[in-house]
């Protein structure tokens, strides 16, 4: 399929909606075999697919990103539920860590061996680790503040030095130049991200952030921008101005102060800690373990929420486009298991979302017939996983579209990158 997606809208919507809370999950890293499997599924989905015309607009962009992010989070959830094997029953026998203040300190128990003697601890957060942020000057977005011609600036990181060159044409606006430099940085794989900020008064600025946080001993910066060739242009852009210096996190572990370059670290090779916010004075988060039934109920609650995420996104799109394909698929998934799910406490609401009776599911997984309950939960997990994998490959399968031409059956041209343009979404076609 083919269409033009406004990549500026895509990038800004993703950054403002998902990037601040996305975090890093160990399930976002994949083996070569897993990536090859994804590629094969993209090939198969595009092999005989017609060429479609897809309407442009922010609603399509947001719908596709919402679908992909919900699919990614669901895939990570399913991976966590079957990290000890495909059977969800393993969650019941697994130690699962808990934090008394999840908004400030998130924890995951990582140990695979028997650690029956492992006890909890207290963790207080004083300061989070921060990235370095350089924020340029706000310039008239449609103005022409830079001289026409080729300009060069140097960018030093803690590992290497790079030279960037950008051209200013006679008709290029300040925003054009800011977007051009932003693309150069975002596609250079330097551990930096750049975006153009709109202040709302017709002025824009370029902001550059490090993806890493903190400073190692002896380091003064994570990146430095300078030039000997065009200092006036660099000063006009202002991207050499440090708005926020990188800093390390400061936290207490059972009362003793520690520091880390990152907000994510491990303790005793068993607890994976992620700091989200400072804890109140004299109220450190208490890290311990969940009861088995509570841990299972929490896991199924997350799975139900993943299902509800697809329903909610589908309903929002259907309300304005009268396209209920995604809603229909989720409805058929539930109806195929309705009676079984009800027996373990998963029931449907009037708006087609699901609800969970925590006491009933705790009773089901601790009863004499727990094997049957785990079998039902496994089938539900696998069904939700299949839905997530399907929508992740081609989220635009669920939008309104008009077929333009059909491929010759059996002799269709394989076009995996046509599909991946929408699966990836952040491909910039103007580079």
Contact 263, 275 (CB under 8 A): yes
Architecture of domain 131-244: 2-Layer Sandwich (3.30)
Q: Which residues contact 422 (CB under 8 A, 6 or more apart)?
A: 1, 3, 5, 64, 394, 395, 396
Is residue 426 within 8 A of residue 8, CB to CB? The reply is no
Assessment of whether the complete model's pTM goes beyond 0.75: no
Give start and end residues of each alpha helix (H) in 224-343.
231-237, 292-321, 325-335, 338-343
What string of pLDDT tens digits covers the 431 residues of the chain? Answer: 334 445 555 556 655 566 555 555 666 676 788 778 877 887 777 777 777 777 666 577 778 788 888 888 888 888 888 766 678 887 777 788 889 999 999 998 886 555 555 678 999 999 999 999 999 999 999 999 999 988 899 999 988 899 988 889 989 999 999 999 999 999 888 899 999 999 889 999 999 999 999 999 989 999 999 988 778 888 999 999 999 999 999 999 999 999 999 999 999 888 999 999 999 988 999 998 888 888 888 889 999 999 999 999 888 888 777 778 889 999 999 999 999 999 999 999 998 999 999 899 989 988 888 899 999 999 999 999 999 988 888 887 887 777 777 766 666 566 555 554 444 444 333 33
Closest by CA to 71, choosing from 99, 50, 41, is 41
Task: Give the SS3 label for residue 57.
Answer: coil
CA 327 – CA 309 distance, rounded (Å): 11
Which of 80, 124, 96, 101 shows the shortest CA–CA distance to 271? Answer: 96
Q: CA-CA distance, 117 to 86, in Å (whole number)?
A: 27
Tokens of 152: 């060069």
For the chain, what are the domain ranges? 7-95+292-424, 131-244
413 DSSP 8-state letter? P
């Amino acid at each position: 399929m083919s269409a033009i997606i406004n990549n500026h809208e895509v990038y800004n919507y993703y950054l403002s909606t998902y990037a601040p809370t996305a975090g890093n999950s160990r399930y976002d890293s994949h083996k070569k075999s897993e990536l090859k499997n994804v590629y094969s599924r993209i090939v198969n989905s595009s092999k005989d697919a017609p060429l479609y015309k897809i309407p442009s607009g922010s609603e399509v962009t947001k719908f596709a990103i919402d679908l992909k992010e919900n699919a990614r989070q669901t895939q990570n959830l399913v991976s966590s539920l079957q990290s000890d094997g495909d059977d969800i029953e393993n969650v019941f026998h697994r130690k699962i860590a808990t934090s008394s203040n999840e908004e400030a300190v998130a924890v995951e128990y990582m140990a695979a061996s028997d650690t029956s003697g492992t006890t909890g601890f207290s963790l207080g957060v004083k300061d989070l680790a921060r990235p370095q942020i350089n924020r340029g000057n706000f310039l008239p977005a449609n103005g022409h503040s830079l001289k026409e011609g080729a300009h060069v600036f140097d960018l030093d990181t803690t590992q290497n030095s790079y030279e960037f060159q950008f051209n200013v044409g006679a008709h290029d606006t300040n925003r054009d130049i800011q977007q051009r430099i932003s693309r150069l940085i975002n596609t250079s794989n330097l551990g930096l991200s750049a975006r153009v900020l709109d202040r709302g008064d017709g002025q824009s600025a370029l902001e550059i952030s490090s993806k890493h946080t903190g400073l190692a001993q002896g380091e003064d910066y994570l990146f430095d921008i300078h030039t000997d060739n065009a200092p006036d242009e660099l000063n006009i852009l202002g991207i050499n101005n440090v708005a926020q210096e990188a800093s390390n996190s400061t936290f207490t572990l059972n009362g003793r102060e520690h520091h880390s370059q990152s907000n994510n670290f491990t303790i005793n090779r068993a607890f994976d800690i992620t700091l989200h916010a400072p804890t109140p004075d004299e109220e450190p988060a208490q890290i311990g373990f969940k009861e088995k039934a509570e841990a299972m109920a929490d896991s199924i609650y997350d799975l139900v929420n993943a299902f509800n995420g697809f329903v909610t996104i589908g309903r929002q799109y259907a309300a304005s486009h009268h396209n209920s394909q995604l809603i229909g698929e989720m409805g058929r998934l539930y109806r195929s298991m309705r009676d079984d799910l009800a027996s373990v406490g998963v029931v449907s609401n009037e708006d087609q979302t699901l609800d969970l009776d925590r006491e009933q599911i705790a009773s089901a997984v601790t009863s004499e017939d727990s094997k049957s309950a785990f079998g039902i939960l496994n089938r539900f997990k696998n069904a939700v996983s299949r839905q997530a994998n399907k929508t992740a490959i081609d989220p635009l399968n669920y939008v309104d579209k008009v077929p333009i031409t059909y491929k010759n059956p059996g002799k269709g041209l394989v076009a995996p990158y046509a599909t991946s343009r929408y699966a990836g979404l952040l491909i910039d076609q103007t580079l």
